[in-house]
Copies of this chain bind each other. A is one copy, B any other.
Amino acid sequence: MSDPLKPVSIAILGPGTVGSEVVRLLTAQAGDLAARVGAPLEIIGVYVRDASKDRGPNLPRELLTEDASALVAGADVVVELMGGIEPARTLILESIAAGASVVTANKALLAAYGPELYEAADAANVDLYFEAAVAGAIPLVRPVRESLAGDHITRILGILNGTTNYILDAMTTYGLDYEVALKQAQDLGYAEADPTADVEGHDAAAKAAILASLAFHQRVGLEDVFCEGITSVTSEDIIAARETDQVVKLLAIAERTAQGVTVRVHPALVPATHPLAGVRGAYNAVFVEAESAGGLMFYGQGAGGTATASAVLGDLVSVARHKALGGKGPLESNYAAHALLPVEAALTRYCVRMSVEDRPGVLSAVAEVFARHDVGIEVVRQVPGQSHAGLILSTYEAPERDLRATVEDLRVSDAVAEVKSVLRIEGE
């Protein structure tokens, strides 16, 4: 425990939008922050790759340094905002080894190397905080890790990617096609020129891995997350969903059952009355189901420089306070021994939309395929068509592996002309 009046020294790695905003806020709110921490915060330097050009708008030249290792060696708290795996990983490990606490917003790094970093932090008795890595400004890590510390989380359903939520919401609200909605998201700056990481679900999957690790005290890596994006979602899917009071959302789902934990990201049908259904535009939200607390939802901006800076600063106050006054946040690597199951073991419901021959006996042939795999059918809707009839079936809950096998058999069934879409039903 250091002298309460001695400043807490802060090193910032990465001079981008978030880094510049953090520096601006640390300066503008210095008095407020000092009161909350119990000691003044002093920025001792900002690491940039090339001090002659990498400089954000709020970064005074005298703070810049190209020597990251020397910078972290002298810091009480290191704020890592570089992104990417290296050199971020090495610098965080150096910081921890030198006794500094770390705040990071780096979801790719945590999804890939989280357990290594959490264990290093615990072993060195320093804090490693990462609120900004999961859902931007939404306070989520602290509630899950601390507020629910006496409860058992059974399931998390999250809208963790703003770009795909924007696209699906535009398709739902304005009847746009996928391509048009994507173009609009790109024009508005919500989607990158190359939208792959968002629309294929990779970004959501990285966040899901971190969130599942937290919720279930479980090592979950990106490779453990089943991932399916939104590129095959059509206007027809959206319209069919609306007809049954559902909306299509890209969900990250982490579930714990008696058998173990599954983590998956895919488009899903959500009842219109579910709180997640009302999440509009580029907002994120996470719905947590806990044994005692029941259903909880956390909603807010999942990205953006100032929103992310708010989350980073909240973490910075906590860890700096521990540095100034003693104490430490919760352990990071306090793992339980749940089995991590493949997605095939997950229980879910399918909504299968297909076109079928318009003749008697077809429904019975289709129903037989479901029965063969022991998958119960809850609702069947027939939609009259021209050469073929449309058929929409919703199943009861069944293991993903049986649902998949059913769909495989439907695809080769004589009665079925085409399986047009398969969406899982969640949130009921």
Contacts and interface: CB of A to CB of B under 8 A. Distances in A.
Interface of A: 21, 25, 29, 33, 35-36, 38, 131, 137-139, 142-143, 146-152, 273, 275, 277-280, 285, 290-301, 304, 306-307, 309-314, 316-318, 321-322, 325-328, 330-331, 334
5 contacts: A148-B314, A273-B280, A275-B299, A277-B278, A297-B297
Given A149-B314, A275-B299, A298-B299, 13 more contacts: A36-B330, A137-B293, A139-B142, A139-B148, A142-B143, A146-B317, A151-B310, A151-B313, A275-B278, A293-B307, A296-B298, A297-B297, A322-B327
Given A307-B293, A330-B36, A143 B150 contact: no
A409 to B, nearest CB: 39
B295 A298 contact: no
A265 to B, nearest CB: 22
Contacts of A311: 147, 293
Contact of A326 (B327, B331, B334): B327
Residue with the greatest number of chain B CB neighbours at <10 A, chosen from A25, A36, A151: A151
A314 B273 contact: no
A322 B330 CA distance: 10
Contacts of A139: 139, 142-143, 146-148, 296
B310 A292 contact: yes
A425 to B, nearest CB: 20
Contacts of A300: 293-297
A327 B330 contact: no
A233 B310 CA distance: 39
B310 A137 contact: no
Contacts of A317: 146, 149-150
Given A137-B292, A306-B292, A146 B314 contact: yes
Contact of A137 (B273, B294, B298, B322): B294
Given A139-B296, A292-B309, A328 B330 contact: no
Contacts of A306: 291-294
Nearest to A321: B330
Contact of A296 (B149, B296, B299): B299
A382 to B, nearest CB: 30
A304 B291 CA distance: 13
Nearest to A151: B310
A206 to B, nearest CB: 21
Contact of A301 (B38, B273, B294): B294
